[in-house]
């Protein structure tokens, strides 16, 4: 089976700093892979390379066998097929929820307004946000804003969803509602790569967990194995610190 995402020997420098050091990772259709590791290990940069928000220096990334820089795909086609959600929501404050969600489908993908709005309203209803279609981001809680950001990413019907620490900016009581949405997306079979610091969530939702250290994937395994019997010394050290901090 062709991987949905195939990352091969991907290397990225920021100036003279090596951020990604020969990353290899294959994600199957409908698979959920969580990326864990300390801050600065390269997790978020790797996500941004997958949909070319950040260009990499060496290696290749393929989506269903086609390189992400292939002219036949183009940035517009890539960003339709690979949605991304950030921890800071990135909603436009002067636009309503409905306008935030329909902007890319209408302006970038040239969908008729009626079609884009019908899709947006159906997604809002699915996540219990339909009554907020005319609201502005500042009128919503952090958890509600993050739900809107996820809906916006889903509005182009992507094949892959990238989630970058989507609970990091939330109050603890709001984390659960966002994680419930991610569980629902997994149950619906969406392929996802998720950067997370929520180890319990990674254990529950991931098919595989990849631990990054200094720009490398040093270990990747099903969560039941990685969290209970990690093989690499650096993985064990990281998890011991997480347990000591009460985060697992």
Q: What is the pLDDT of residues 207-248, one digit of tens each?
A: 999 999 999 999 999 999 999 999 999 999 999 988 777 666
CB 239 within 8 A of CB 230: yes
CB 143 within 8 A of CB 174: yes
Burial status of residue 29 (CB atoms within 10 A of its CB: 0-12, 13-18, 19 or more): middle
Q: What digits encode the pLDDT tens for the residues 64-74?
A: 999 999 998 88
What CA–CA distance (Å, rounded) separates 21 from 26?
Answer: 16
Q: Region 20-43: what's the mean pLDDT?
A: 97
Q: Region 111-132: what's the mean pLDDT?
A: 94
What CA–CA distance (Å, rounded) separates 128 from 229?
Answer: 39
pLDDT of residue 57: 97
Give how far Cα 214 sits from Cα of 51, 182, 218, 232, Å: 22, 27, 9, 14
What CA–CA distance (Å, rounded) separates 140 from 100?
Answer: 13
């Amino acid at each position: 089976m062709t991987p949905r995402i195939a990352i091969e020997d991907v290397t990225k420098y920021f100036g003279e700093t090596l951020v990604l050091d020969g990353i290899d990772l294959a994600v199957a259709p409908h698979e959920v892979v969580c990326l864990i590791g300390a801050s600065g290990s390269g997790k978020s940069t790797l996500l941004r390379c997958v949909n070319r928000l950040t260009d990499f220096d060496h290696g290749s990334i393929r989506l269903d066998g086609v390189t992400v820089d292939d002219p036949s795909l183009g940035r517009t086609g890539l960003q339709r097929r690979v949605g991304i959600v950030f921890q800071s929501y990135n909603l436009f404050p002067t636009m309503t929820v409905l306008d935030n969600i329909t902007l890319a489908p209408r302006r970038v993908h040239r969908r008729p307004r009626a079609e884009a709005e019908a899709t947006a309203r159906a997604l809002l209803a699915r996540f219990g946000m339909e009554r907020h279609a005319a609201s502005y981001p500042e009128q919503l809680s952090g958890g509600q804003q993050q739900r809107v950001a996820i809906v916006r990413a889903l509005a182009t019907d992507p094949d892959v969803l990238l989630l970058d620490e989507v609970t990091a900016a939330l109050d603890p009581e709001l984390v659960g509602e966002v994680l419930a949405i991610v569980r629902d997306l997994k149950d619906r079979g969406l392929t996802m790569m998720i950067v997370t610091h929520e180890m319990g969530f990674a254990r529950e939702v991931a098919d595989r967990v990849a631990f990054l250290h200094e720009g490398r994937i040093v270990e990747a395994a099903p969560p039941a194995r990685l969290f209970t019997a990690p093989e690499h010394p650096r993985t064990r050290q990281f998890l011991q610190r997480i347990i000591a901090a009460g985060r697992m």
